């Protein structure tokens, strides 16, 4: 899976689960990714074991920039 497919899938998951927790784990660009989120808050966002989780109240634009970290 590439970054664009990853971002599209996560955003679809986020919108489908509005105001609920969502979880995803898999490979993107050869990197192991795991995340647990609530709306745009990524409580857990690990790329190859390194945590990139963010703030609890970020814009969708900043959320997508954070997802770009998998590049």
The per-residue pLDDT for 26 is: 97
What residues does 33 pair with on adjacent strands? 26, 47
The per-residue pLDDT for 10 is: 98
What residues does 21 pair with on adjacent strands? 38
| pLDDT above 90 (res 4) | yes
| pLDDT above 90 (res 54) | no
CA dist., res. 43 & res. 29, Å (int): 22
* Closest CA relative to residue 14, chosen from 38, 34, 47: 38
Alpha helix (H) residue ranges in 1-71 = 3-16, 60-67
CA dist., res. 14 & res. 31, Å (int): 21
The pLDDT confidence band at residue 68, using thresholds 50, 70 and 90, is: very high
Instruction: Tell me the average pLDDT of the chain.
Output: 95
């Amino acid at each position: 899976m590439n970054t664009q497919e990853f971002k599209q899938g996560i955003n679809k998951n986020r919108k489908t689960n509005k105001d609920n927790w969502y979880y995803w784990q898999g490979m993107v660009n050869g990197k192991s990714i795991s995340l647990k989120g609530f709306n745009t808050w990524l409580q857990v966002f690990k790329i190859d074991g390194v945590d990139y989780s963010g703030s609890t109240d970020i814009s969708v634009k900043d959320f997508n920039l954070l997802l770009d970290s998998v590049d």
